[in-house]
Structures are given as structure tokens and as C-alpha cells.
Amino acid sequence: MTMVTETNKTGANIFKQGNGKVQISAEGIQARIKELGVQITKDYAGQELHLICVLNGAFIFMADLARAIDLPLSVDFMSVSSYGAGTTSSGEVKLVKDLDQSLQGKHILFVEDIVDTGLTINYLLKYLESRGPLSIKVVSLLSKPARRKVEVSIDYLGFEIEDAFVYGYGLDVDHIYRNIPFITSQHSTSQHSTSQHSTSQKG
């Protein structure tokens, strides 16, 4: 997949939108995160919240979301890789980085970049439930229901999108372009373009 860029007078690349069907502006993302923060603050009023971020794709989303939540909170990170043939995830997960903190008796907000097939997040939620939290809810920046194989309850959702390969705002193409401030997609006729089977888009 080729990312479209242009060069300004200083020689720096300016990111441009791809020509795909999913386009979400930086302003739109920030406005939605502010709304999510208000709702989460209301729902957990008077309680402490523990955010768990799935690396790498959700790190920018969680950083902005955490600052939009007006509550005392703590954060932790985990990293996984999923197994499967070609562009298909089997839902079997290798834990690359486990959590550093105990979940016992805590209210957990599980932060994802995108829920795709649902296989990986379904596996991870069962794993987290075994660690003794008081509650677990899911917040995801994006959801792609057309590709769902396992139903997953998303308690707080940024945007529901069509079946397209998206990148930007934490989501990558071959490990780059995570720093694009908006979400875009590139039109392609290949299956890889919609499978979201990159390092961050495993879900």
C-alpha cells in the first residue's frame, strides 16, 4: 500500500488523506473523544478507574482519552500478537507484554484502537476477567462490524466504520504513519486492504 504525501517548502512531508472510503478528521476524532470522556466521567463518578491500553495501535487514543476523563485513574499496557494464516486471525494470542499491575478489585476500562473480527479482544477479555477485576468495560476508537466473527460488547465507541483498511491516529501501515492526526484509508482491490492484519489492527 502506498501512502500519499506531498513535500512543503522546507522539505518536510505533509500527510494527505488517502482515497479510500473511510475518512475521519482530526477535529472529528477530538470532538468524539471529548464526548466519550464526559460520558465515562459520569458513569464512574466517585470511583477510581484503571485503563489498560493494547499496544501499539491504541496508545495515542488512550493518551487523549485519559486526559478527557475527569477522574483519578491509573494506566497499564499490554502487547499481544495474534496467530493465523495469511490475513486471517485465529484468535490465538501470544502475550508479548503482560500487565505490570494487579487488577484485583479494580474497575477496568479496556482501551482498543479497532475491533475487527472480535477474536483477539474476546480472548483478552477472558484473560483479564481471570485476574479478579471488579468490573471490565471496553472503549474502542473504531469498530468494523462487517468483519465480526465473535460478538463483542463495546461499551464506549468512537466510530463505526465500513470494511476498509484504515490508518493514522495510532494505526499503522507497515509500522509507520501512526503519527497522522486523522484517520484515513487507501482504496485497493486486494484483500489485504480490508483485513486490518497489521501490527496494530489485529482485533
Q: What are phi and psi of 76, to 5 degrees?
A: -150, 165
Integer CA distances (angstroms), 97 to 11, 41, 55, 137, in order: 38, 28, 9, 21
Q: Which amino acid is at 198?
A: S
Catalytic residue among 64, 113, 116, 163: 116
The set of cell numbers assigned to 119 is 477474536
Q: Is 113 a catalytic residue?
A: no
- Which run of H or of E encompasses 200? none
Q: What is the DSSP string of 122-185?
A: HHHHHHHHTT--SEEEEEEEEE-GGG-SS----SEEEEE--S--EEBTTB-BTTB-TT-SSBEE
Which residues are the active-site residues?
116
